[in-house]
Amino acid sequence: MSAKKMTRVAGLVLTGMLVGWVQLAYSQHVIVSEGFEGEPTAATSLEDLLDADPVTPGFNAQDDDPVEGTPGSGVQIVDWEVATGNRALLLRSGTEARLQLGNARSGDTITFDFNLYASKGAGDRNFYVIVRGMGADQNGQDFLAYVSERTAGSQSIMWYDGIGAGGNAWRDTGADHIENAWQHHRFVFDSASRTFTLYIDDMDTPVLENAEMTRAGASVPSYIMFRHEGNSADDGFCIFDDIQMTVDGAVGLDTTFTEGFEDYPAASGVSTEDLNPLGPWITIETAGVDNGVDITPTKVQVVDNTANPVHGGTKSLKLEGGQQAGVSYAWGTPPKRDVEVTWWAWVPESVDGETATYLRMSLYCLEDGRGSEGDCALLGYGSRDGTIGDGTSLTIFNSGWKDTEVDYTPNTWEQYRLTTHMNNGTYSIVKNPGASEIVIADQLPIIGGSVVYSNPFIVGFSSSNGTGHPPVYVDDIEIKSLVTNLEPPPSPYSAVIHNSRFGNYSILNIGGTVGDSVVDPSDGTTIIFTKDDGGGLGGIYRAVKTASATWEWDPTPIVTGLDNPSGLEIDLQGNLWWVHDNTPALMRLKAPWAENTPELVISNFGWDMGEEPPFDDDPIGIAITPPGFTGAFGSPGGLAIADRGADDDANNAVYFVDPLTIGTGLTFYEEFLVYPSAADLGGSNLNDIEAIPELNEVITATDDGWLFAIDADGYPRLIRPLQLYVDTPYIPNVEGIAVDPQTGRVWISDDNLDQLWSIDPDPNFQSDDILEAAFFMEGEDRYDYNINFHDPGLSFAPDGSFLVVSDIDTRNGGGRFFILHDEEAPPTQPFMVVSIEKVEAGIKLTWEDANAGSYVVKRGTDLGDPASFVDISGPVTGLEYVDDDPMIGAAFYIVEAYQ
């Protein structure tokens, strides 16, 4: 059912010209300076258990529940013990706060200061500070790991040396922390040598010089973890204050950044000299990707034209050897929303069928405020692996690596340009920009499943996937800050219903990584769903049915602060249960939900065999066992939990949990319905589990299409589709399953086919498979227009009246839910713009409710010329929007309503 435009309203606004100052191009830059003085709430004593989390932008309480303490009191702003001013940050035993560095810049020297008050007492653990960086083909490596020695009674301060011979070891700094006293710690990192100098209290006399950084692959600092790593209450507490990070040699984007590598010493011919680019560039060149590897100084070099023909001038940048070898440049918060990166590349033909990405260009931003795994745009040169790309392919990433079917010309200088369009969450890449340009990617979704992306602030060029790569060359890089307001691409796909089970569908835009869902049995219409975000940014929400074929989601979470919540269910008592596959846990929120707080029921799964981490610990989905589920290992109304194995290995298992008798705070849970095995439930990862009430079984699905129905005696019965994977050439990729309450058939979502099929689970006479729905791409056949099913991500209403399908593709405001049903949506209503006003953030528009699913704000210069209007908002589900980059002079605005 395609969207129907109901009406559009317009307004005129005048804005003025703003003249400001321009920052010096090459300078010291303050990344962060935080003393917590602006925090509104503070605990007044150690005994005060107030939930006083920091609200300073960039900070979040990653783990707020202390060991043996009151939940929510682990991370606190306090006023009873400070280094300066009136506020500081306290961490109780077993907690963590993180500071995200979206304003990070790169440079030749990075200085990191903080004041620390450590109260270790009789314990063996206390503070742990980790500075982590990303860039140049690396999503997160430790710059620094700095800790109180893990020995009772010791005040020795240790750091982790993970570089080269003798690496992978904790080293003694030679300094102690003083119990119950403030100390000033300063680190001065040298970007070129990958070393640091440490000062404590005396800022003229170092306690440690030329110490190796923690990991050779760490690039631009992007976040800091302040952790109390205690495992018992006697490990005391620690307090941080006056946190500051600065960088010397930083270069911003107030003016266009250009780099031809002409100002650096260069190697001539074959050279063993360590001739890296300097200034704002941070270089990583390691002997592989493992921890403890050494630095290989010739993998990255500035070279002259005796090594290879340069593009312009007399020098260029050489990268070789495969991961990890690259350079990164960070410009901090750009003056405008978008960036445009242009570069020249000279790349030989790679080896077809091998992992041989000879060159990768990467762009990084914060995703939902996180400074990790922030690669938001990628372009690879060469064969990605045995199935994707060939020797001259240009590849991109969109829910998986894709061959763009555009090739580079080997051993030839060619120009490329990447431009972001942050107003609609996309980017574009062209080859040979200008009159003869070739489009590689047109408004491709920003990589990731987040809701909010920061402005990009890091670029990296690297010799990427694989080893032993020959030299590639990069030259004449240009980076500028700008604003691009493009019309968003068309709706990427629509559902085509092939069978008579449903006749219509609705689309509910949520944004970000929508996860699993369950329809609340108390009313049969409300959709309860997860947002599958990490770093404490995940949560559980509801979408309420407001009219025929119409649902609206409530942005107020039922549960917040979660780390990648996965499968969820509601038991017979109305309690809400969910699992976490990355941090293996089972949690519960008792009914009534608003009157209770989440409980950690199981904090680990699998066997305690001395493994670190323990064996078999990836719970992915939950099913409520049916009324006739009676046997040796299960009973009715219980929880059957699918576990796909430690770190996604091949060991699959199913646990059984009795919700009426289970306690809380359990670890190493061992009550199996199906014992861990590499084969009994299929050879690849389990992705979902559901109940089959008519057969008194539960059913699991693996990503390679194996279905197993399991009875209460733990016997798995194989169900193979009859036609589905016989009649198609595609490799199976099953993400979700759901059992139809009306027909008893098992529905599956396949992410390679972009289709929904139903399978008959009858053990005696299995009827044919049925293609139920397909999600066809609109317009040209593009890889980036595909639906992206979540695992798990299918759920029926209790009466079978509708089916909820999770789609995590972020194009055009996604993720979203496709809801299949037999209803007709009410039409939109006429509406008006209520106000257009200038506010501090820009131009704010407010309009009436049009009973619409979403709105789009367009801006133009000629009300009589539709071509002058461009979409500046993307889909908006509320009734207001702020244009944060208004035009100078006159502008018209149009608001359109869509059902």
Give the separation between CA 257 and CA 261, rounded to whole angstroms.
12
Give the separation between CA 43 and CA 87, rounded to whole angstroms.
10
Q: What is the mean pLDDT of residues 361-369?
A: 89
281-285 and 325-330 beta bridge pairing: antiparallel
Sequence-distant (6+) residues with CB within 8 A of 453 are 365, 366, 367, 376, 422, 425, 446
- Under CATH, domain 525-770 is a member of which superfamily? TolB, C-terminal domain (2.120.10.30)
Q: Dump pLDDT digits (tens) for 623-657.
A: 999 999 999 999 999 999 999 875 445 588 999 99
Residue 768 neighbours by CB distance under 10 Å? 11
Give SS3 for 117: strand
What secondary structure does DSSP assign to 532-596, as a single string?
--TTTTEEEEEEEEEETTEEEEEEEEEEEEESSEEEEEE-TTS-EEEEETTTTEEEEEPSSGGG-
pLDDT classification of 457: cutoffs 50, 70, 90: very high
Question: Distance of alpha carbon 634 from its chain centroid, rounded?
Answer: 37
Give the separation between CA 131 and CA 168, rounded to whole angstroms.
17
Among 419-423, 517-521, 557-561, 617-621, name the one with the lowest average pLDDT: 617-621
Sequence-distant (6+) residues with CB within 8 A of 634 are 625, 640, 656, 673, 711, 712, 713, 714
Sequence-distant (6+) residues with CB within 8 A of 679 are none
Give SS3 for 348: coil
Cβ burial of 215 (10 Å; 0-12, 13-18, 19+) is buried
Q: What type of residue sits at position 25?
A: A
How far the first Cα of the chain sits from its last, in Å, is 9
List 860's β-bridge partners, or say none.
892
Tokens coding 154: 């010791």
CB 381 within 8 A of CB 345: yes
Task: Evaluate whether 35-249 and 525-770 have a shared fold.
Answer: no
Tokens coding 621: 């989905």
Q: What is the mean pLDDT of residues 48-60?
A: 91
Give the separation between CA 341 and CA 337, rounded to whole angstroms.
14
Q: How many helices (H) and strands (E) does the chain have?
A: 0, 62
Sequence-distant (6+) residues with CB within 8 A of 648 are 618, 685
Give the separation between CA 164 and CA 431, rounded to whole angstroms.
39
Instruction: Choose between 444 and 8: higher pLDDT.
Output: 444
Cα–Cα distances in Å, from 421 out to 281, 403, 510, 770?
25, 22, 20, 40
pLDDT for 258 equals 96
pLDDT for 165 equals 66
In the chain, domain spans: 5-16+827-898, 35-249, 257-482, 525-770
Give the separation between CA 327 and CA 125, rounded to whole angstroms.
36
Which of these, 105, 135, 140, 102, lies nearest to 327 by C-alpha position? 135
Q: Dump pLDDT digits (tens) for 231-265.
A: 999 999 999 999 999 999 999 999 999 999 999 99
The CATH architecture of the domain made up of 35-249 is Sandwich (2.60)
- The model's pTM: 0.71
DSSP 409: P
Among 153-167, 625-639, 757-771, name the one with the lowest average pLDDT: 153-167
Residue 74 neighbours by CB distance under 10 Å? 27
Supply the CATH classification number for the domain 257-482: 2.60.120.200
CB 346 within 8 A of CB 412: yes
Cα–Cα distances in Å, from 112 out to 184, 252, 535, 832?
11, 20, 23, 52
pLDDT for 11 equals 38
pLDDT for 21 equals 24
Task: Indicate the fold that domain 5-16+827-898 takes in CATH.
Answer: Immunoglobulin-like (2.60.40)
DSSP 766: -
Tokens coding 846: 């407010």
Q: Dump pLDDT digits (tens) for 661-696.
A: 999 988 888 899 998 888 888 878 899 999 999 999
Instruction: Choose between 840 and 846: higher pLDDT.
Output: 846
DSSP 365: -
Q: What type of residue sits at position 97?
A: A
Task: Kindly report the backbone phi and psi dihedral angles of residue 756, in degrees, each rounded to the nearest multiple of 5, phi listed first.
Answer: -110, 130
Tokens coding 283: 């270089």
pLDDT for 175 equals 97
Give the separation between CA 579 and CA 376, rounded to whole angstroms.
28
**Positive/negative CA dihedral, 168, 169, 173, 179:** positive
Which of these, 74, 350, 86, 374, lies nearest to 229 by C-alpha position? 74
What secondary structure does DSSP assign to 613-670, as a single string?
SPSS--EEEEEEPPTT--SSS--TT-EEEEE--GGG-S-EEEEEE-TTT--SSB-SB-
Q: Dump pLDDT digits (tens) for 189-236.
A: 999 999 999 999 999 999 999 999 998 888 999 999 999 999 999 999
Asked if residue 792 has a cis previous peptide bond (ω within 30° of 0), the answer is yes
Give the separation between CA 815 and CA 500, rounded to whole angstroms.
27
**Positive/negative CA dihedral, 705, 709, 715, 717:** negative
Residue 47 has pLDDT above 70, yes or no: yes
Tokens coding 627: 């009324």
Q: What is the mean pLDDT of residues 444-469?
A: 86
pLDDT classification of 26: cutoffs 50, 70, 90: very low
